[in-house]
Amino acid sequence: MKQITVISGKGGTGKTVISGAFAALAEKKVMVDCDVDAADLHLLLHPEIKERHEFKGGQLSVIDEVKCDKCGKCAAACRFGGISPVFKVEVFSCQGCGLCSRICPRGAIRMKEKIAGEWFVSDTAYGVLVHARLGIAEDNSGRLVSRIRQAAEKIAAAGGADYIIIDGPPGIGCPVIASLAGTDLILVVTEPTLSGLHDAARVIELAAHFKIPAALVVNKYDLNPGVTEKIEAFCLARNIPLTGKVPFDKTVVRAVVEGKVVTEYPGSPAAGEIRKIWDLLKD
């Protein structure tokens, strides 16, 4: 079984459109949407939820106003500004480390477990999708990603799947690291802009840091042939295989608006190129 993470560094380069198309093209696979902050794959795959699980992630301090005698030890020890001058917990600052609850001389602080989100196992027209929804303004996206990847690995092993296809989040921080740790290949989707190249380079560096092979796709390559050339030169210099160049294609926007994967539009030039990329990747 092979795990492929589709990722981009910079958001909005077309990563989810490409993952969605892979869902339609790959035969025996499990799909995972690891962009738990702002999951979008379900808008193309229309999952029917079969299993729903709570995700408990992290903790929050709760101060018992009766017991608290405002000695100030907690506020002085907290490095995140989690306790306000009037001894209220600042919910957007508290990182749930629990130090205050351990040092409070009056035992006035307890830690409350937070329900930080939900995750789902669903059926779609293209097979199983494991996805999640991180609670609004919640922390711990990395742990939620690891949780759903574990669930997907189990399902894939039980069903004899050949691939796990992971739609990753933007950036290079904790949810991204959790999305690519232990995968067999990362496919970086970029666009021909200087920002796209800058961000793709950082993700590729991250893949190298974790010793995971990376390949690249330039999406909407014809929007700026000059920068596409720069990206090609970059790939050559770094020895990164360029698996394909997807042309700008209005069908892609139409497909997103209609909530479909782009391969459902037979004449679409973008779909044709993505099909070629999948054929390359699959072996």
Partner 1 sequence: MIISVASGKGGTGKTTVAVNLALALKDARFFDCDVEEPNAHIFLKPRLNRQEKVFIPVPEIDTAKCSFCGKCGEVCAYHALAVIKGEGGHQGEVLVFPHLCHGCGACSMLCPQGAIREVNKEIGTVESGSAGEISFVSGRLNVGEAVSPPVIRRVKEYLEPSKTAVIDAPPGTSCPVICAVKGSDFCILVTEPTPFGLHDLSLAVEVLRKMEIPFGVVINRSDIGDGKVEDYCAKENIPVLMRIPFSREIAEAYARGISLISAFPDFKGKFIEMRARIGTLLESGKAGR
Question: Which residues are at the interface with partner 1 (CB under 8 A)?
Answer: 8-13, 16, 37-38, 40, 43, 58-59, 77, 79-80, 92-93, 95-99, 102-103, 134, 136-139, 141-142, 169-177, 191-195, 198-199, 202, 205-206, 209-210, 223-224, 226-227, 253, 256-257, 259
Which CB, 63 or 176, lies closer to partner 1? 176
In whole angstroms, how close is the CB of 194 to partner 1 at the nearest point? 4
Q: In what order do the strands lie in the sheet with 48-63?
A: 48-63, 109-124, 127-134, 29-33, 163-167, 2-7, 185-190, 214-219, 242-246
Which CB, 173 or 213, lies closer to partner 1? 173
In whole angstroms, how close is the CB of 174 to partner 1 at the nearest point? 4
In whole angstroms, how close is the CB of 87 to partner 1 at the nearest point? 19
Which CB, 2 or 110, lies closer to partner 1? 110
Which CB, 198 or 276, lies closer to partner 1? 198
Which CB, 26 or 178, lies closer to partner 1? 178
Distance from the Cα of residue 273 to its chain's centroid: 24
Measured at the CA of 160, the angle between CA 30 and CA 43, to 5 degrees, comes to 15
